Amino acid sequence: MKIYIGSDHAGYELKEKLALYFKELGLGYEVEDLGAFNYIEDDDYPDFIKPVAEAVAKDKGSFGIILGGSGQGEAMCANRIKGVRAAVFYGQEEMKEKNSKDSETFGIIKLAREHNDANILSIGARFVTEDEAKFACELFLSTKFSGGEKHIRRINKF
């Protein structure tokens, strides 16, 4: 499975950790890092997010992980590319209080894959811990699209 990953300065440190984590998992993930390649405080997220989105749209069956401060602008940028369906994950205070990976907080990731066939996960790096981000990515990559007729019909209307 090919994973394209990219981030601006706000998610740079977490991106570096996630890229290494995917390689170390030993699950056969091929990771292509599309930047940023160094921390530059005033860089612009579209410079790194758009190439990830374009790569995922072109490389059917691949996935993208994009990171930024909130993940919102990054998802907006990615979703402008035909064939991309980016979903945002930024955790919740509820998750931090429960400290549980069974929390409904992660349900949004499952639904994004099962119902919307999301192919990019946008992470708000300022709102999640490293462990939450790792778990979110694992869940995203391991959850299959349901293939349900109503979900396919709805996606086709995009």
Could you give all domains of the chain from N- to C-terminal order, each with its CATH number? 2-37+44-91+98-146 (3.40.1400.10)
For residue 61, with 0-12 CB atoms within 10 Å meaning exposed, 13-18 middle and 19 or more buried, which class applies?
Answer: exposed
For residue 9, pLDDT over 80 is answered with: yes
Coil, helix or strand for 86?
A: strand
Asked whether 107 and 118 are in contact (CB, 8 A), the reply is no
Coil, helix or strand for 82?
A: coil
Could you tell me the pLDDT band of residue 27, with boundaries at 50, 70 and 90? confident
| Catalytic site positions | 74, 115
User: Which tens digits make up the pLDDT trace of 63-106?
Assistant: 999 999 999 999 999 999 999 999 999 886 544 444 455 556 68
For residue 114, pLDDT over 50 is answered with: yes
pTM equals: 0.91
Q: Can you give the pLDDT at residue 26?
A: 82
Q: Can you give the pLDDT at residue 104?
A: 64
Give the amino acid at 96: K
